[in-house]
Chain A
């Protein structure tokens, strides 16, 4: 009974971790916008989410498909993100405007991604707050 109540909460907390991870990757890209030879990274939210939630992915209703793999992303096997415990790969972004120093960061795209990820992180936070309020009011019965 209680498990079904907290399932949504569990799912959103995992989504929050993946969002934080992506925020970190994009922050690294922006930090390295002027580093010669740096290759921009990104993670595919759907794959990362599937890896983080494992077999329990199908039980949560809002299976996030809105952020499907971008056409510019190339999947990469082998690299892992330790803190998530999953094995989803960090992809390399494809250069749209190649530069002489081999840096593949597109600052405009990274900033857009950063803003997008920020909003989605806040949305996930609100989902969590909403579910926790729902559970609290169910417990208190007032």
Chain B
């Protein structure tokens, strides 16, 4: 039955979206992190999605192709009293923008919900198909 591949398709999307949510969580957790002695602060990460064929032309799933680091410059704040301040008195923070990450989180969570609903609908239809003729 060809509808069974919906579970593969939506399942791949759910897994990809949860990975995106994971990356968002790690970005948000490190939003206020300051750079260590090496001066390398935390760089925000983004997942890159990619379409992957699920056996036939009609069904295509998703997978995470790569997790890329953001190229935005690290945020420097002048705070000479901070223990991690450099010689000029600047503290290097991560380049994560919490607002962007929150938007990203909402988007990921909505996509996740959409795919769960698709799976549930497919399951209901298949169960009804099983009862055909009764």
Chain A residues with a Cβ under 8 A of chain B: 16-17, 20-21, 23-25, 27-28, 30-38, 41, 43, 79-83, 90, 107, 111, 114, 118, 121-122, 125, 128-129, 132-133
Closest residue of chain A to B133 (Cβ to Cβ) is A132
B interface with A by C-beta (< 8 Å): 1-3, 5-6, 9-10, 12-13, 17, 20, 48-51, 54, 56-62, 107-108, 111, 114-115, 118, 121-122, 125, 128-129, 132-134
- Residues of chain A with a CB closer than 8 A to B48's CB: 36
Q: Determine which of B58, B111, B114, B115 lies in contact with A24 in the assembled complex, contact meaning CB atoms within 8 Å.
A: B58
Q: Which residue of A lies closest to B13 (CB)?
A: A31
Q: Do the beta carbons of B58 and A118 come within 8 Å of each other?
A: no
The residue that A111 contacts in the complex, of B5, B54, B61, B114, with Cβ under 8 A, is B114
For the complex, would chain B's binding face be called helix, strand, loop or mixed by DSSP majority? helix
Chain B residues whose C-beta falls within 8 Å of the C-beta of A114 in the assembled complex: 118, 121
Name which residue of chain A comes closest to B124, CB basis.
A118
Partner of A33, one of B3, B56, B58, B114: B114
Residue contacts A-B, CB under 8 angstroms, 20 given: A20-B1, A20-B2, A23-B122, A24-B9, A25-B59, A27-B118, A28-B9, A28-B54, A31-B13, A31-B60, A31-B62, A31-B115, A32-B49, A34-B108, A35-B51, A81-B57, A82-B56, A111-B114, A114-B118, A125-B129
